[in-house]
Structures are given as C-alpha cells and as structure tokens.
Amino acid sequence: MARTKRTPEVTQSMNLIRLIERFGAEDRCRAYLEALRWPAGVFCGRCGERKVSHLAKRHQYECDSCGYQFSVTTNTKMHDTHLPLWKWFLATYIITESKKGVSSNQLRRALKVAPKTAWYLTHRIRAAMGDDLEAPLLGTVEVDETVVGGKIRGRGRLAARQNKTMIVGAVQRGGEVRLQVIPGNDRDTLHAFIRNVTHDRTKAIYTDSLPSYKGVGDENTLHEAVNHIANEWTRGDVHTNTVEGVWSLLKRSIIGSYHQVSAKHLPAYLSEISFRYNNRRNPYLFRDTILRLLETDALPYEMLIAE
Ligand SMILES: [Zn+2]
C-alpha cells in the first residue's frame, strides 16, 4: 500500500497543551516523524528506491527493489526503541523547554519509566542537542574559565579535589556560546580553544587578567582584560559579565538538577547547556531537536556505559 500524503504543520512552535493535543497518540507522533524525515515521501535508506510497501501493522516499510525493511526510526537516535514515541516527544519537550536542565531522575518520575530507560533517554536527547555545526564566533567575544564539581556527599576533601573539572567558555555578545572541558588554564590550552572557536576577524576578545590570555589578540582582533584582582569589573565596554552569566546558569543547573555531573558526562552536559543557550530565541527548538534525533546515528547503550 502506498503511503498517504501527510502535511503536518512542521513549523509550528510548541507548548504543552499543543503537544498533548497533537502528539497524545502514537500514530500522530509517527506521522510527524515521517514528515520530518521524509519531506518528499518515503524512500529506502539502503538503496534510495522510492517505491516501497507499507507494512502498516508493524509500522514499517519494505523496499520494492531491495527488500529492506525499515521504519521512520531506523538508524536514528530512536533506533530500536521500545519506548512509545509519545514518551520520546514528551521527554524532548521537557528537556528542551526547561531553562536549567532536567535530571534523568526527574524524567523517570515524569514519564514513569525505569531508571535505566530515563537515563538512556536523557543521554540520547542531549546527544541530539549537541549535534550542532558550530560556526566561529565573531564580533565581541568574552572568554573566561571556571571550575565545577567538588563536594561529593559523604566523601572527603581528597575526593572533592579529584572531582573538580575546569571549563572554558566563550560567548559572542548577542550571539552563541562555546564551552569545553580543559585540563588546565595554561597558555597553550586557552589559546588553542580561542583559536578554535573564534573567527580570524573577531573584533575583540575580552578576558580577565589571567596571564595565560596574553597575546590572544592580533592585528585583526583587539584583546582587552579587566583586572578582577584589583576589583575592576567593567571598563567602558570591556567586561566579562555575559560569560559569567553563563557560569551562573551552569552552576544553578548543576546544583538544581544534576547534583553531581560525573566528569565523563560533563561534555554532553555542556553541549546541552550550549544548545539551549544558543537556541534561547528559537521558537522551533522542540522540532529542531526532534529533527536531530532523526538525522543522527544511533548512540548504542554500550557506548554510553563504556569506560
Ligand atoms: Zn532498497
């Protein structure tokens, strides 16, 4: 049976009422996914053939040419899922709408799923949110480093020290943020990060007076530093308030939702924070995240738990 043409409004922004009205039923979720994945109609993921038969009962298609059987979630981050699609949709909604992030425990309670499932779901959605092509930052860019982690309940100071992780961040004023875990705040590390995330023609880079930042400017790019030690926080246009705002967001999220983020999962978590920040004015964040869940490869559970 040929697939009937569906044209859901894929550009509409999302709120909870609309989410429930539109995606409270499994077949509607599936139709939405199909419209996003195959806007010009279903085709075989193996050979590209457009003539496919619908195996309606199994929610699958079979390629008329090579016999490949597939569904809308085949080879995506939702691959092999045993979870109802509406739970994926609700989880994506909760994670993308939350300003400070959601822990897998909160998700477990909201969705009534097993802890392992909630954890897996959170990681897959976060991985999807991190899959963004990152353009170099331009204009005025603030750079700063911070330390997260530390105290672990019921464990001593040594454990606290070992649990500390340093993060560097760069924010384009009025634009996007880039965050990265770094081994230390030495000159090589910070210069490499700045080279990586900023454009050659970035107008200005503002930092604090940490000596490692010396020399990040050149003939195209002005470098100015505020001297926090001398209690100087703002000098005209020169300050790092924007990136410090990102740090407070980050720390509130870690304290509020994540409690302890293990060093291993911190990069994924930073991706999520950046994605949310960079999409703060995107009314289609829900749809864009669902799209990413569809476009990217499966992230096997084994890969997530591997040391
Ligand atoms: Zn085929």
In the predicted structure, residue 26 carries a pLDDT above the cut 70: yes
Q: Distance from the CA of 255 to the center of ligand 1, in angstroms?
A: 49
> Which of these, 291, 270, 299, lies nearest to 11 by C-alpha position?
291
Long-range contacts of 54-60 (CB under 8 A, 24+ apart): 54/1, 54/2, 54/3, 56/1, 59/30
Radius of gyration of the chain (CA): 23
Question: How far is residue 167's CA from residue 182's CA, in Å, rounded to a whole number?
Answer: 6
pLDDT tier at 252 (50, 70, 90 boundaries)? confident
Q: Distance from the CA of 50 to the center of ligand 1, in angstroms?
A: 8
The tokens for 95 are 């994670």
**Predicted local distance difference test score (pLDDT) of residue 8:** 44
Inter-axis angle of helices 285-295 and 115-130, to 10 degrees? 100
Long-range contacts of 279-283 (CB under 8 A, 24+ apart): 283/13
Q: Distance from the CA of 76 to the center of ligand 1, in angstroms?
A: 17
Question: How far is residue 294's CA from residue 20's CA, in Å, rounded to a whole number?
Answer: 21
218: number of CA atoms within 13 Å, CB side?
10
pLDDT digits (tens, 9 = 90+) for 79-110: 767 889 999 999 999 888 876 678 888 889 98
Q: Distance from the CA of 71 to the center of ligand 1, in angstroms?
A: 13
Q: Distance from the CA of 288 to the center of ligand 1, in angstroms?
A: 28
Q: Distance from the CA of 218 to the center of ligand 1, in angstroms?
A: 54
**Predicted local distance difference test score (pLDDT) of residue 281:** 84
**Predicted local distance difference test score (pLDDT) of residue 5:** 43
In the predicted structure, residue 253 carries a pLDDT above the cut 50: yes
Question: How far is residue 200's CA from residue 127's CA, in Å, rounded to a whole number?
Answer: 29
In the predicted structure, residue 11 carries a pLDDT above the cut 50: no
Q: Distance from the CA of 95 to the center of ligand 1, in angstroms?
A: 35
Q: Distance from the CA of 33 to the center of ligand 1, in angstroms?
A: 20
Please tell me the pTM assigned to this model. Answer: 0.68
In the predicted structure, residue 61 carries a pLDDT above the cut 60: yes
Higher confidence at residue 44 or residue 5?
Answer: 44
Q: Distance from the CA of 284 to the center of ligand 1, in angstroms?
A: 32
Q: Distance from the CA of 70 to the center of ligand 1, in angstroms?
A: 10
Q: Distance from the CA of 60 to the center of ligand 1, in angstroms?
A: 13
Q: Distance from the CA of 289 to the center of ligand 1, in angstroms?
A: 28
Q: Distance from the CA of 52 to the center of ligand 1, in angstroms?
A: 8
Q: Distance from the CA of 43 to the center of ligand 1, in angstroms?
A: 8
Q: Distance from the CA of 42 to the center of ligand 1, in angstroms?
A: 11
Round to the nearest angstrom and report the end-to-end CA distance of the chain. 46
